[in-house]
């Protein structure tokens, strides 16, 4: 600490010599806002009074990737003192080795993962990672190029955010699989090794009582979108603890690329309450809290405090919950959804995408969407995603059947749900309350030749479903036998949704599905597969059925409508807009989801549908001078224009105008 303060004092006095009020006033240009640097930048003047202020600011700049603009530091000052800044930061920057006292002293609490590393461990972590890449590049099982591409993109993101998003938007089909699923899964698994500079905030179990002040450590004055995870179920990869922050970062990359949310106004968050992943707990290089997960009221207290803190600082922020284990996903959604602007992507976003896909599968059979309630659907997986899809599909069927109690009751008979213990029936002991509504009547399934706990293969054989949908996280679950059994489907064009992520967790590959069932099927997967050449001049089309087609539009629509909460109606409107996006011709070819290259366009349309619904439900409070009354007056085209105009584009801002 003494050393640190010595450096701080040394660099502060150095800075004082350079960054004087007179010096700033003498710059012969103005900033974008038209202010003189000395007027805009209160903080640069603060430097003169607080020996630590400049260092705090520079640390934050480094840690949070803030633009100079947002740091309230004159871009001009920063550019002119670039070398000075670099040298002064490099002098005292310690990254994960900053002690808790130093983090508090420099207002850095929350901007680094909670495990304070010794300098030796920092070096070891770096070396382990370096060696791992060498091993992978030689003969490792994972795709070394994907990870290498992620590193290159990540470094670009660190250096030049605008250029990073320009590249991502222009080549979204090529790079979404790198910054998002499947590669983001590999990134999360290796995050403690890959970690260089943090991105986002960490709220840990150790921070109880501190969060309300910690949240002010984030340098941005405005945050529109937070994606938060507790790392307990990252894709289909299980509990990855603090390393799960990678998924929040990946989702927010799509918010920027697809929804045009300003990258300076997004905040990835990790709530680190420990991990139950023993391998991570035994690893001294693991960056998270080395303790088992909090549970019960202790767990809730941490998440409650986090929610209160972020909504106090940014009352209009939207919080997307991501990859929480099912146990908490539903509880937290119920706890917060009527008070805060939040939603759970795995439960609600996935449900909407699945509904759109299921309706597309009906149309692909040459039938009207209204025939959906006749579909027999087998779902493998009854976790947050599976149950979310089941509830939404049941409601959609019920609406089509008359929207009453009887319709709701009868709709449930279209579903057979299989989890790790097999077919779920009323005969199951200790049945999960969320799955209970879908438990089959014992007598009824006996008549079908089934029983409690019947295997997926048996269920498919007996039910002969129109749709087989997997959200089980079990790679290869749709085995050769299961796919063979699906040949007896009563559908003219059976649909297979292998929705689990990342690729190795997909219930089957596209190749397996098309080679066993031929080309007269509909295939969708959570992570992308290439189309399959069936060798007879026919191509098996692979759809990507992923919540990425909805969550950006849900977030953008909520932001631009200023909706107080995110209602079922808004989510339903989003799903319906996606369902009608594909043309008849495309759907008949088996193309039920757009290609990712159209993600910005679909997101615009989904956002407009969400805004309309928020207005109809009187939930909208408007956005930036456009109040609800004015929003209501907009025609369809004007609403589309309003959405488009409020999306961020990756263009370099003009920082400096030469004075006339």
Ligand X SMILES: NC(=O)C1=CN([C@@H]2O[C@H](COP(=O)(O)OP(=O)(O)OC[C@H]3O[C@@H](n4cnc5c(N)ncnc54)[C@H](O)[C@@H]3O)[C@@H](O)[C@H]2O)C=CC1
Which residues contribute to the site for ligand CC(=O)C(=O)O (CB under 6 A)? 181, 235, 323, 345-346, 501, 526, 546-547
Residue 552 within binding range of ligand X, rule CB under 6 A = no
Nearer to ligand CC(=O)C(=O)O (CB atom), residue 414 or residue 500: 500
By CB under 6 A, name the one of 471, 486, 554, 573 that touches ligand X: 471
By CB under 6 A, name the one of 260, 526, 557, 562 that touches ligand X: 526
Residue 323 within binding range of Mg ion, rule CB under 5 A = yes
Among 56, 60, 251, 605, which one carries the catalytic annotation? 251
Around 562, how many Cα atoms within 13 Å sit in the side-chain half-sphere?
Answer: 14
Q: Using CB under 6 A as the criterion, what x/- string covers residues 435-464 for binding ligand X?
A: ---------------------x--------
Beta bridge partners of 415: 377
Burial of 584 (0-12, 13-18, 19+ CB in 10 A): exposed
By CB under 6 A, name the one of 63, 117, 385, 620 that touches ligand X: 385
Residue 177 within binding range of ligand X, rule CB under 6 A = no
Q: Element (H or E) spanning 58, and its range?
A: helix 53-64
180 included as an active-site residue: yes
Nearer to ligand CC(=O)C(=O)O (CB atom), residue 176 or residue 482: 176
Residue 353 within binding range of ligand X, rule CB under 6 A = yes
Q: Write the DSSP assignment of 614-637 as a string of letters.
A: HHHTT----BTTB-HHHHHH--HH
Residue 121 within binding range of ligand X, rule CB under 6 A = no
DSSP conformational letter for 69: T
Cβ within 8 Å of residue 448, ≥6 positions away:
462, 463
Ligand-binding site membership of 649 (annotated): no
Beta bridge partners of 418: 380, 423
CB of 203 to Mg ion, least distance (A): 19
Q: How many residues does the chain have?
A: 660
Nearer to ligand CC(=O)C(=O)O (CB atom), residue 470 or residue 494: 470
Strands of 213-254, DSSP E: 225-229
Report how far residue 77's alpha carbon sits from residue 18's, in angstroms, rounded to the nearest whole number: 10
Residue with tokens 């089941």: 390
Q: Between β-strands 656-658 and 29-31, what pairing exists: parallel, antiparallel or unpaired? A: antiparallel
Residue 596 within binding range of ligand X, rule CB under 6 A = no
Q: Using CB under 6 A as the criterion, what x/- string covers residues 528-547 for binding ligand X?
A: -----------------xxx
Residue 360 within binding range of ligand X, rule CB under 6 A = no
CB of 240 to Mg ion, least distance (A): 12
CB of 181 to Mg ion, least distance (A): 9
Nearer to Mg ion (CB atom), residue 11 or residue 500: 500
Give ∠ CA 562-563-569 in degrees, rounded to 5.
145
Residue ranges in 414-433 that form contacts with ligand X under rule CB under 6 A: 418-420
Q: Give the residue from 114, 17, 115, 11 showing the smallest Cα distance to 56.
A: 11
Ligand-binding site membership of 434 (annotated): no
Residue 503 within binding range of ligand X, rule CB under 6 A = no
Q: How far is CA 438 from the centre of its chain?
A: 28
Longest dimension (CA), the chain: 89
Residue 384 within binding range of ligand X, rule CB under 6 A = yes
Report how far residue 659's alpha carbon sits from residue 497's, in angstroms, rounded to the nearest whole number: 60
User: Total residues contacting ligand X (rule CB under 6 A)?
Assistant: 31
Residue 230 within binding range of Mg ion, rule CB under 5 A = no
Residue 355 within binding range of ligand X, rule CB under 6 A = no
Identify which range of 79-87, 98-106, 212-220, 465-473 contacts ligand X by CB under 6 A: 465-473
Nearer to ligand CC(=O)C(=O)O (CB atom), residue 423 or residue 499: 499
Q: How far is CA 336 from the centre of its chain?
A: 18
Q: Taking the CB of residue 621, how many other CB atoms lie within 10 A of it?
A: 14
User: Total residues contacting Mg ion (rule CB under 5 A)?
Assistant: 2
For 277, 289, 444, the CA distances from 240, given in Å and listed in that order, are: 7, 12, 41
Residue 496 within binding range of ligand X, rule CB under 6 A = no
Asked if 424 and 431 count as a contact pair (C-beta separation under 8 A), the reply is yes
326 binds, among ligand X, ligand CC(=O)C(=O)O, Mg ion, none (CB under 5 to 8 A by kind): ligand X
Three-class SS string for 252-281? HHHHHHHHCCCHHHEEEEEEECCCCCHHHH
Burial of 103 (0-12, 13-18, 19+ CB in 10 A): buried
CB of 417 to ligand X, least distance (A): 9
CB of 545 to ligand CC(=O)C(=O)O, least distance (A): 10
Q: b vs e for 560-580, b when ≥16 Cβ sit within 10 Å of the residue's Cβ?
A: bbbbbbbbeebbbbbbbbbbe
Q: Element (H or E) spanning 48, and its range?
A: none
Ligand-binding site membership of 105 (annotated): no
CB of 250 to ligand X, least distance (A): 12
Cβ within 8 Å of residue 271, ≥6 positions away:
203, 204, 228, 229, 230, 302, 303, 306
CB of 355 to ligand X, least distance (A): 12
Q: Give the residue from 517, 455, 513, 453 showing the smallest Cα distance to 491.
A: 517
Nearer to ligand X (CB atom), residue 71 or residue 176: 176
Among 54, 164, 180, 336, which one carries the catalytic annotation? 180
Report how far residue 494's alpha carbon sits from residue 167's, in angstroms, rounded to the nearest whole number: 38
Ligand-binding site membership of 501 (annotated): yes
Residue ranges in 214-233 that form contacts with ligand X under rule CB under 6 A: 233
Identify which range of 392-400, 470-478, 566-574, 613-621 contacts ligand X by CB under 6 A: 470-478
Ligand-binding site membership of 233 (annotated): yes
In the sheet that holds 318-321, the strands lie side by side as 201-204, 266-272, 225-229, 318-321, 342-344
CB of 391 to ligand X, least distance (A): 13
Residue ranges in 341-360 that form contacts with Mg ion under rule CB under 5 A: 346
What's the sign of the alpha-carbon dihedral 508, 513, 515, 516?
Answer: positive
Q: Using CB under 6 A as the criterion, what x/- string covers residues 293-332 for binding ligand X?
A: ---------------------------------x------
Q: How far is CA 524 from the centre of its chain?
A: 20
Q: b vs e for 446-470, b when ≥16 Cβ sit within 10 Å of the residue's Cβ?
A: eeeebebebebbbbbbbbbbbbbbb
165 included as an active-site residue: no
Cβ within 8 Å of residue 279, ≥6 positions away:
none
419 binds, among ligand CC(=O)C(=O)O, Mg ion, ligand X, none (CB under 5 to 8 A by kind): ligand X
Nearer to ligand X (CB atom), residue 485 or residue 634: 485
Nearer to Mg ion (CB atom), residue 255 or residue 372: 255
CB of 623 to ligand X, least distance (A): 28
Positions in the binding site for Mg ion (CB under 5 A): 323, 346
Residues with catalytic annotation?
Answer: 180, 251
Positions in the binding site for ligand X (CB under 6 A): 233, 235-236, 326, 346, 350, 353, 380-386, 418-420, 456, 471-474, 477, 499-501, 505, 526, 545-547
Q: Which residues are annotated as a binding site?
A: 233, 322-323, 346, 501, 546
Q: Which residues are annotated as a binding site for (S)-malate?
A: 233, 501, 546
Q: Which residues are annotated as a binding site for a divalent metal cation?
A: 322-323, 346
């Amino acid at each position: 600490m003494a050393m640190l303060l010595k450096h701080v004092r040394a660099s502060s006095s150095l800075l004082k010599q350079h960054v004087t009020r007179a010096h700033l006033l003498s710059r012969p240009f103005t900033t974008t806002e038209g202010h003189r640097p000395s007027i805009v930048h209160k903080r640069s003047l603060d430097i003169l009074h607080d020996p630590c202020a400049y260092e705090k600011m520079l640390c934050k700049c480094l840690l949070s990737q803030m633009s100079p603009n947002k740091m309230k530091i004159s871009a001009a000052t920063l550019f002119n003192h670039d070398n000075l800044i670099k040298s002064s930061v490099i002098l005292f920057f310690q990254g994960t080795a900053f002690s808790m006292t130093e983090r508090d002293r420099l207002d850095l609490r929350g901007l680094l993962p909670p495990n304070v590393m010794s300098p030796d461990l920092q070096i070891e972590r770096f070396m382990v990672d370096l060696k791992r890449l060498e091993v992978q590049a030689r003969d490792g099982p994972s795709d070394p190029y994907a990870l290498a591409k992620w590193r290159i993109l990540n470094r670009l993101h660190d250096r030049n955010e605008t250029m990073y998003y320009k590249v991502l938007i222009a080549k979204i089909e090529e790079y979404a699989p790198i910054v998002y699923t499947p590669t983001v899964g590999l990134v999360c698994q290796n995050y403690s090794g890959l970690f260089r500079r943090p991105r986002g905030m960490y709220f840990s179990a150790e921070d109880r009582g501190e969060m309300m002040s910690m949240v002010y450590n984030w340098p941005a004055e405005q945050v529109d979108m937070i994606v938060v995870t507790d790392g307990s179920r990252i894709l289909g990869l299980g509990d990855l603890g603090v390393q799960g922050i990678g998924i929040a970062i990946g989702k927010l990359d799509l918010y920027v690329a697809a929804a045009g949310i300003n990258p300076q106004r997004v905040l990835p968050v990790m709530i680190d309450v420990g991990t139950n992943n023993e391998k991570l707990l035994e690893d001294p290089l693991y960056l998270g809290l080395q303790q088992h997960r909090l549970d019960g009221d202790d767990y809730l207290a941490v998440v409650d405090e986090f929610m209160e803190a972020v909504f106090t600082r940014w009352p209009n922020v939207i919080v997307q919950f991501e990859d929480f284990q099912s146990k908490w996903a539903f509880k937290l959604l119920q706890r917060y959804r009527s008070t805060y602007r939040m939603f759970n992507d795995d439960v609600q976003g996935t449900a909407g995408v699945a509904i759109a896909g299921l309706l597309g599968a009906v149309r692909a059979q040459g039938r009207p969407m209204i025939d959906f309630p006749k579909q027999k659907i087998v779902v493998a997986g009854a976790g947050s995603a599976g149950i979310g899809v089941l509830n939404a599909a049941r409601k959609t069927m019920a609406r089509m059947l008359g929207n009453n109690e009887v319709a709701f009751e009868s709709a449930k008979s279209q579903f057979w749900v299989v989890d790790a213990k097999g077919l779920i029936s009323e005969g199951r002991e200790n049945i999960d309350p969320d799955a209970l509504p879908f438990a089959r009547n014992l007598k009824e399934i006996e008549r079908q030749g089934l029983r409690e706990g019947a295997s997926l293969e048996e269920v498919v054989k007996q039910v002969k479903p129109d749709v087989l949908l997997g959200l089980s996280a079990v790679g290869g679950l749709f085995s050769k036998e299961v796919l063979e059994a699906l040949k007896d489907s009563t559908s003219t064009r059976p649909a297979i949704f292998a929705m689990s992520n990342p690729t190795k967790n997909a219930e089957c590959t596209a190749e397996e599905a098309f080679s066993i069932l031929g080309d007269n099927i509909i295939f969708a997967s959570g992570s992308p597969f290439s189309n399959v050449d069936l060798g007879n001049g026919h191509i098996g089309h692979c759809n990507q059925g992923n919540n990425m087609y909805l969550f950006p539009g849900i977030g953008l629509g909520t932001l631009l409508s200023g909706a107080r909460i995110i209602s079922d109606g808004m989510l339903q409107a989003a799903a319906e807009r996606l369902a009608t996006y594909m043309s008849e011709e495309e759907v008949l070819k088996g193309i039920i989801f757009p290609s990712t290259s159209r993600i910005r366009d679909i997101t615009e349309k989904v956002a407009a549908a969400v805004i309309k619904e928020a207005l109809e439900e009187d939930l909208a409070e408007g956005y930036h001078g456009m109040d609800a009354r004015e929003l209501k007056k907009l025609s369809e085209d004007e609403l589309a224009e309003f959405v488009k105009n409020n999306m961020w584009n990756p263009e370099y801002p003009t920082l400096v105008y030469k004075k006339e």
